[in-house]
Homo-oligomer: A and B are copies of this chain.
C-alpha cells in the first residue's frame, strides 16, 4: 500500500468535477485552495478559446495537466470517420494553444458497428492523428472506459485493450490514462499497470469512487472514500510502475454539483489525503 499523500503538490482537479463553476471561478477556486494542477474540459473554454483559457489558468498559478477530451473515432461512414479525425487534429491544436501537454481520448463506439470493428476504427483514427500530435508535442492518452460504456462511449474497455493499441501504433506520443472508476473491477489491473510501466505508456491517473448503489450510469460517481474502490492501493500500483505525475480528481456527480463548490474542493482535499 502506498503511504498517504501529505500535501497537494500533485493534486489536480478536472473542470468537469466542479461543473457549476465557470473556468474563471474554477481557476480562482483551485488556486485559493492551494492547488497546482487543472485539467481543462473543452466545454470550459466557453467562447474565450484555448489560448485565453490557458493564460487565465496560468495567471492563477495553475499548470494545465491535460485537455479532456478527444476521441470518438468510430463511425458507420468513411466521411464520419474523416470528420472525427479532423476534429481530433483540431483538438491537438487546441491543446497546443491551451498549453496542455496531453489529450485524454474517450475513444468512441458506434452503435451500428461490432465492437471489433469499432476497435479497429479507433486504432486507425489514432494512427491518423498521431503525426500531428507528435509535431505539436502533444501526447495522446487512451482512457479505457468501464464496460458499461461499451455501446456508446468507448469500445476500449480494459487496460489490456488500450495497451494493445499502444503496442500496435508504437509511438512515444501514445499512452494510456488509468481511471480507477473504469478499471477497478479488473482482476488483471495490477499486472496491466505494471506492464504500462514497462512499456512507458502510463501517462495519466484519474481518481474518484464507485457508489453502491450507483443510480445513474454517467453522473453518480463518488468522492474518494465514499465507495468501494481501493484508490490508495491502485495509486501504489501506478507509482510502483514509475508514475509520479498529477493525481487527477475527475468526478461527475449531480449530487456533488448541487453543493457549494468551494466547500466541495475542501472536501476533495480532505478525501485526497485520507483515501488517495
Interface residues in chain A, defined as those with a beta carbon under 8 Å from any beta carbon in chain B: 111, 114-116, 119, 146-148, 150-152, 157-158, 161, 184-187, 210, 212-215, 217, 227-228, 230
- Roughly how many angstroms separate A116 CA and B151 CA in the complex, as a whole number? 28
- Roughly how many angstroms separate A187 CA and B157 CA in the complex, as a whole number? 9
CB atoms of B147 and A111 under 8 A apart: no
CB atoms of A111 and B212 under 8 A apart: yes
**Cross-chain contact of A148 among B187, B214, B227, B228 (Cβ < 8 A):** B214
CB atoms of A114 and B146 under 8 A apart: no
- Roughly how many angstroms separate A144 CA and B150 CA in the complex, as a whole number? 17
CB atoms of B146 and A212 under 8 A apart: no
- Roughly how many angstroms separate A114 CA and B231 CA in the complex, as a whole number? 12
CB atoms of B187 and A151 under 8 A apart: no
**Cross-chain contact of A151 among B150, B158, B210 (Cβ < 8 A):** B210
**Cross-chain contact of A146 among B148, B152, B215 (Cβ < 8 A):** B148
- Roughly how many angstroms separate A227 CA and B217 CA in the complex, as a whole number? 17
Residues of B within 8 A of A151 (CB): 210, 212, 214, 227-228
- Roughly how many angstroms separate A210 CA and B150 CA in the complex, as a whole number? 10
Residues of B within 8 A of A116 (CB): 187
Residues of B within 8 A of A185 (CB): 115, 147, 150, 157
- Roughly how many angstroms separate A183 CA and B37 CA in the complex, as a whole number? 38
- Roughly how many angstroms separate A261 CA and B115 CA in the complex, as a whole number? 33
Question: Among the interface residues A152, A185, A214, A217, which one has the most CB atoms of the partner chain B within 10 A?
Answer: A185
